[in-house]
Amino acid sequence: MAAAAGSSLEEGLGRFRELIDAATRNDPRSDEPVNRRARGAGRLLRVALIGRLLPLGGFAAQPALVGAALVNCLGCFSTIRRQHPPSADWAKPLLQHGIVPAAAGLLKHVLRAHRQSPGDFGIIAGMLAVVCGAPSALVEGSTADQLYAALTAVQELTATFDAAATAFAAGITIAGGASAVATFRAAACGLWGQLAAPATLQALADAVRWVEAEAWPAEHAMAAAMAGAGGPAQQAPAVGQGPAETSQDVQRQGRALGVLASAACVVRGMVSRSDSLLLPAEGAGAASAGSVPAAAAARQRSLLVALRDSGVLSALSAAVLSAPPCPNVAAGAKALEEATAAMTIAQYDVFSTLWSLSRIIAPGLGLSTATELLAAPDVQPLCWAALEQLAAAAPAAAAGSSSSSRTGAPGGGCGARGAGGEAGSRWLLLLQPHVIQPHSDLGGQLVFGYASMMGAALDAPAKWLRGSQQPPGGTRCADTAASLAAAKRLLPPPRRLAVLAASCARTVCAEVEAELRALSAGAAASTGAGGGSTRVRHACSSVVEQLVNLALILDTVAADESLPDLLETCGWALRAQVAAMAEGGSGAAFREGEEGHMSPAARAAQVVTALAFKLQ
């Protein structure tokens, strides 16, 4: 039977592993479903499976690709999560039972099953709705019903990796006695190796590509139909309201975006916390370059190879770029639809991952390794789209509101890649205050999204350019020229960059000033549950640093295109820096030299020097 109520975490995860193996073997001989409500559906499922297993000739054929074993497997995991929310305690049994690699194999099996025989998922749709908690009845027998069932299975399996990533993050940072810390840390490091393995990242990439290929077309068709209807009816109803077909569309979108969000969360955790593997076993203190353990550095290198070979960053970027619009969020909303919340955090996690490539990986393994991944197909266009979005959100452009009743325009197509117009200008949810304010994971403040977007687009080029700078009148050496070429590889064409820079700087400066005014007035975290003055100050400092990076980039690669744009960009960068220095404590969020950061005074001096050289 599936995980019994009240069973221990280790027992439950051990049973889960057994059910993963049964489902992967296509074993139709599974135990009774996980609860009484599903038993009737289970008997009907067996009848259907027998019809598929015993064709007219009476000889057993290849077992059905999906069936009771898969349903029980997913129901078991759902029960475990309810009884034992993911924590550091998961790390050891997950590692011991080898659940991550086994789940990766099952995920690939399920994706292959849907490609070969999507109708099989229609047979188990009702049972999946019961064991995985579908909020309302499905429209059985339809193609959409089959897709929804497949999405449910894929989302539950990607949630397995999400839970493992949570266990890793908790285990690697746990506090306590030395022996306890060492035990948790050892299990967490082993779990990181399984999550960062090529097979795991490949399975996640395949799942994200499958969502883009199978779910996005259906969602775009729904959005087009709603737009064609016109008027208030365009807005998607809440789950459980409106016609059954439309309600199921909303549920299906939530499942699809849940897959994207889980995959993005896992990849972000593997990249952004990979530097934790470089710390001493006790987890205290920072490791110098000479003391970095060779094995830990090798793990980072293997992660980069797996990221490159799997193409998971390209898959995530493409899915964000081409994603359909999410349900509308009313101004002042206290909570978000599941789909909107998932898409928002997915966008944040993807941009944060790209930023971490230059912030976390490059210091240990070199900037070239990060550059190769940032220049990959769909990754680079997403970074450029972030700059387009920030420019379009400049205060003057943001005065009007979109006429669309969906939250943002579709991410993909020409809208995501720089098309003009109001609809195309606001598709990133990270730029929409009415979406961010109720989103507790993002602190309710736009500045966190701004930091991740600007870091993804600008941090690596700026690091290349800092190594390529030369004294006025000096001769450019071969290394300097190579660094300049590497930076340009990651940036939009100079003329386009010059046009975008000033508007981007204006957008970001306005938000930094607003956040810092709130801090000064004692209103920190008043707009959301997850803020806090220290976290907001740190995010503001990150954004100001990226503004300085933008001024440096424009001065180095595109100053000849438009001197007025350069002057305006530098002006906004200085204004934001002055605001940060004036707000008590914000200027000290980064100490000079800490993690490669410059002091506020050094940042301001760099912009002033650039201005003086251009104007002399």
Residues 314-343 pLDDT 10s: 999 999 999 988 878 888 888 888 889 999
* pLDDT for the residue 610: 72
Q: What share of the chain is helix, strand, coil (3-state, %, to 5)?
A: 70, 0, 30
* pLDDT for the residue 401: 38
Mean pLDDT score of the chain: 78
90 DSSP assignment: G
- 30-39, 52-61, 93-102, 540-549: which is most confident: 93-102
- State whether residue 326 is helix, strand or coil: strand
What's the pLDDT tens digit per position in 171-209?
Answer: 998 876 677 788 888 999 999 999 999 999 999 999 999
Q: Which of 17, 28, 24 is nearest to 110 (CA)?
A: 24
**Burial class of residue 278 (count of CB atoms within 10 Å of its CB; 0-12, 13-18, 19+):** buried
What's the pLDDT tens digit per position in 154-169?
Answer: 999 999 999 999 999 9
Distance CA 318, CA 157 (A): 21
Distance CA 9, CA 17 (A): 12
* pLDDT for the residue 534: 83
* pLDDT for the residue 212: 96
Q: Which of 494, 204, 486, 265 is nearest to 370 (CA)?
A: 486
What's the pLDDT tens digit per position in 387-428?
Answer: 999 999 887 544 443 334 445 544 543 333 333 334 344 689
**DSSP string for 418-454:** T--SHHHHS--GGG-HHHHTT-GGGTT-HHHHHHHHH
Distance CA 510, CA 517 (A): 11
Q: Residue 231: which region, alpha, beta or left (left: phi > 0; alpha: psi -120 to 50)? A: left
Q: Which residues pair with 326 in a beta bridge?
A: 407
* pLDDT for the residue 263: 98
Q: Is the dihedral of CA 541, 454, 215, 152 positive or negative?
A: negative
Residue with tokens 């690697």: 172
Sorting pLDDT into bands at 50, 70 and 90, what band is 311?
A: very high
* pLDDT for the residue 492: 94
- State whether residue 61 is helix, strand or coil: coil
- And the tokens for 164? 């493992």
Distance CA 234, CA 225 (A): 8
- And the tokens for 239? 């789950």
Q: Give the pLDDT mean for 114-133.
A: 81
Q: Provide, rounded to the nearest whole percent, the portion of the chain with pLDDT above 90.
A: 44
Burial 354-370 (b: 16+ CB within 10 A, else e): bbbbbbbbbbbbebebb
Sorting pLDDT into bands at 50, 70 and 90, what band is 527?
A: very low
Q: Give the pLDDT mean for 535-563.
A: 89
Angle at the Cα of 428 from the Cα atoms of 542 and 454, rounded to 5 degrees: 20
Higher pLDDT, 105 or 532: 105
Higher pLDDT, 523 or 58: 523
Distance CA 337, CA 317 (A): 22
* pLDDT for the residue 353: 97
Q: Is the dihedral of CA 198, 203, 207, 213 positive or negative?
A: positive
**Burial class of residue 1 (count of CB atoms within 10 Å of its CB; 0-12, 13-18, 19+):** exposed
Residues whose CB is less than 8 angstroms from the CB of residue 458 and which lie 6 or more positions away in sequence, other chains included:
546, 549, 550, 553
What's the pLDDT tens digit per position in 466-489?
Answer: 875 554 444 455 578 889 999 999
- In the 3-class helix/strand/coil scheme, how is 375-415 assigned residue by residue? CCCCHHHHHHHHHHHHHHCCCCCCCCCCCCCCECCCCCHHH
Domain ranges of the chain: 9-221+245-281+295-310, 338-615
In this model, does residue 352 exceed pLDDT 80? yes
Residue with tokens 């980072």: 300
- And the tokens for 262? 């889980």
* pLDDT for the residue 602: 73
pTM for the full predicted model: 0.84
